């Protein structure tokens, strides 16, 4: 063993011996495996393959996010349509509530139960009652510029008794 050169840092002998280059006169030279391809793959080909895989992964993940965003937009349109329908329904219910709270509606419904005044005569029209005459007073035919509509006998009697205006529109 050759003598150690003096150094200020102590290096273990095993590391120093393992790290030392073989002497040129030993007869064996180290073989570098870096130039050999493994199963036909060079470093450059492996790099291109890795880059291609990462690119494909990014494109697939982007496509997945784009399709998810499309589905979310479609759901948002559906929810907006549902909300608009619900708003219309709530508005109709509020209008109906305002109608049934009017005194006129309450009195009309009370008459249906026989709770009218003593001067009123309760009556009931049979469903199979005959229609009133087409030219009877108060019928739509006698009004100028009205279209003729097909009505049931009950509807004809109600129009004759109460007029063509409905309680909901007043």
Please provide the DSSP assignment of the chain as one string: -PPPPP-SS---HHHHHHHSPPPGGGS--PPP-TTSPBTTB-HHHHHHHHHHHHHHHHHHHHHHHHHHHHHHHHHHHHHHHHHHHHHHHHHHHHHHHHHHTSHHHHHHHHHHTT-S-TT-------TTPPPPPTTSTT-GGGSTTPPP----HHHHHHHHHH-S--TTT-
pLDDT value of position 169: 42
Is 59 a residue whose pLDDT tops 70?
Answer: yes
- Between 102 and 21, the higher pLDDT residue: 102
- Between 113 and 48, the higher pLDDT residue: 48
Average pLDDT value for the chain: 78
Token pair 């907006």: residue: 80
Is 82 inside a domain boundary?
yes
Cβ-contact 135, 111 below 8 angstroms: no
Lowest mean pLDDT among 33-42, 99-108, 117-126: 33-42
Q: Are residues 90 and 156 in the same domain?
A: no
Is 85 inside a domain boundary?
yes
Q: Are residues 103 and 140 in the same domain?
A: no
Is 32 a residue whose pLDDT tops 90?
Answer: no
Is 78 inside a domain boundary?
yes
- What mean pLDDT is predicted for residues 121-130? 81
Q: Are residues 96 and 156 in the same domain?
A: no
Q: Are residues 96 and 146 in the same domain?
A: no
Q: Are residues 55 and 101 in the same domain?
A: yes
Cβ-contact 23, 17 below 8 angstroms: no
pLDDT value of position 72: 95
Q: Are residues 44 and 109 in the same domain?
A: yes
Is 170 a residue whose pLDDT tops 50?
Answer: no
pLDDT value of position 2: 58
Q: Are residues 67 and 54 in the same domain?
A: yes
- What mean pLDDT is predicted for residues 27-50? 72
Is 60 inside a domain boundary?
yes
Q: Are residues 128 and 95 in the same domain?
A: no
Is 25 inside a domain boundary?
no
Is 45 inside a domain boundary?
yes
- Read off the pLDDT band of 34 (50, 70, 90): low
Is 31 a residue whose pLDDT tops 80?
Answer: no
pTM: 0.38
Q: Are residues 107 and 157 in the same domain?
A: no
Q: Are residues 81 and 147 in the same domain?
A: no
Reduced 3-state DSSP string for 133-149: CCCCCCCHHHCCCCCCC
Cβ-contact 156, 132 below 8 angstroms: yes
Q: Structural domain tally of the chain?
A: 2
Domain that holds residue 151: 123-162
pLDDT value of position 146: 60
- For residue 34 the two structure tokens come to 């870096």
Token pair 């559906």: residue: 78
Is 33 inside a domain boundary?
no
Residue by residue, DSSP assigns 23-36 as PGGGS--PPP-TTS
Is 14 a residue whose pLDDT tops 50?
Answer: no
Q: Are residues 107 and 144 in the same domain?
A: no
């Amino acid at each position: 063993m050759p003598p150690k050169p003096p150094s200020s840092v102590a290096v273990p002998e095993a590391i120093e011996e393992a790290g030392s280059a073989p002497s040129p006169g030993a007869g064996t030279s180290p073989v570098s495996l870096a130039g050999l391809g493994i199963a036909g793959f060079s470093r450059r080909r492996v790099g291109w393959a890795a880059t291609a895989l990462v690119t494909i992964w990014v494109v697939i993940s982007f496509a997945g996010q784009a399709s998810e965003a499309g589905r979310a937009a479609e759901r948002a349109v559906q929810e907006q349509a549902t909300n608009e329908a619900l708003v219309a329904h709530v508005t109709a219910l509020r209008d109906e509530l305002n109608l049934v709270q009017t005194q006129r509606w309450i009195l009309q419904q009370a008459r249906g139960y026989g709770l009218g005044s003593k001067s009123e005569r309760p009556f009931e029209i049979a469903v199979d009652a005959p229609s009133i005459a087409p030219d009877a007073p108060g019928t739509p035919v006698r009004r100028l510029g009205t279209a003729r509509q097909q009505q049931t006998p009950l509807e004809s009697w109600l129009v004759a008794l109460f007029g063509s205006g409905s309680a909901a529109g007043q």
